[in-house]
Amino acid sequence: MQLQEAAQIGEAVSGIAILFTLLFSLRQVKFWNENRRYEIGRDLANFMNTPLIHRGFAVTTLKLSEELTFEGLNALSREEKDAMNATMIGFNNIGLLAKYGHLSNDLVEAFCGYYIRIFGSRWRRAVEIHAKAMMQQPESIRMVWGGLYWLMDTLEEAPNSENTNELAT
**pLDDT tens figures, 35-79:** 888 898 899 999 999 999 999 999 999 999 999 999 999 999 999
Residue 81 or residue 158, greater confidence = 81
**In the predicted structure, residue 167 carries a pLDDT above the cut 80:** no
Name residues whose C-beta falls within 8 Å of residue 159's C-beta, 6 or more positions apart in sequence. 109, 113, 167
How many other CB atoms sit within 10 Å of the CB of residue 17? 10
Compute the distance between CA of residue 152 and CA of residue 118 in angstroms, rounded to an integer: 10
Whether 110 contacts 166, CB under 8 Å: no
Whether 69 contacts 122, CB under 8 Å: no
